[in-house]
Amino acid sequence: MEPATTATALWGAVVLSGLYHGVNPGMGWPLAVSAALMDRKSRSLWRALGALAAGHLLAMAAILFPFGALLFLADWQTHIQIVAACLVIAVGVYLLFNRRHPRFLARVPPSRLALWSFLAAMAHGAGLMLVPIYLGICRTVETDTGHAAAADLMSSNAGIAALVALVHTAAMTFAGSAFAVAVYRWLGLKALSRSWFNLDVVWALSLVVVGSVSLLTLHG
């Protein structure tokens, strides 16, 4: 596959994973609906969605930037990708067998939605799902890693990490907002309780799939 085609597919995966995270109730959009209903103000909905987006963005950055900093070690890039892929698979397998939601999330006050969103994304491995995709994008960038200065490589990787986090969070916020607005304005909480969907198993399996595909692509 040509580098341009590969890059397009990987950026598509960034957007799709964001939409997927946004649809998942576990990333918090029902909390935004709850805030608006309690305050009886539609602006509370948007304020809550903004806080959830900010927390999610910080969680993505907290995971991606350390891997970006490591990638200046060009000779170890393949090893880093293998470790990242195996880590994603391990988290997915763990979540398949341990489906309990972290109890500490229940202790975060509703007024601190950004903090809740950050902790929820970290606990569910949302950022880890992006790591193999991000590392693949970095490989498509035409950089002479043999001669480029470490500072230049780190700067380039940090820029890509920031863009991946922003694009992903934008897609997540769009999808979550669509569901939140639909429930708040038209469907109501009764419809939500009747048609509640749980993506925990799908979430865990998706981590395993992303990690496995990354390994297969790396060795392909």
Residue 126 has a pLDDT of 86
- In Å, how far from its chain's centre is CA 204? 13
Total tally of structural domains belonging to the chain: 1
Average pLDDT taken over every residue of the chain: 82
Rounded Cα distance, 165 and 55, in Å: 11
pLDDT of residue 26: 81
**For 31-43, b where at least 16 C-beta lie within 10 A, e where not — what string?**
bbbbbbeeeeeee
Q: Determine the average pLDDT of the residues in 165-174.
A: 96
- Asked if residue 174 has pLDDT above 70, the reply is yes
Q: What is the pLDDT of residues 116-154, one digit of tens each?
A: 999 988 888 888 889 989 988 887 775 544 445 555 666
Give the per-residue pLDDT at 150.
Answer: 53
| pLDDT tens-digit map of 97-113 | 876 766 657 667 767 89
pLDDT for 106 equals 65
Residue whose pair of structure tokens reads 């992006």 in the numeric block: 130
Taking each helix axis from N to C terminus, what angle separates 126-140 and 3-23, rounded to the nearest 10 degrees? 170
C-alpha–C-alpha distance, residues 201 and 196, integer Å: 14
Instruction: Say which DSSP state 101 is in.
Output: P
Q: Which of 35-39, 40-44, 45-49, 66-70 has the lowest mean pLDDT?
A: 66-70
Q: Which domain holds residue 76?
A: 3-219
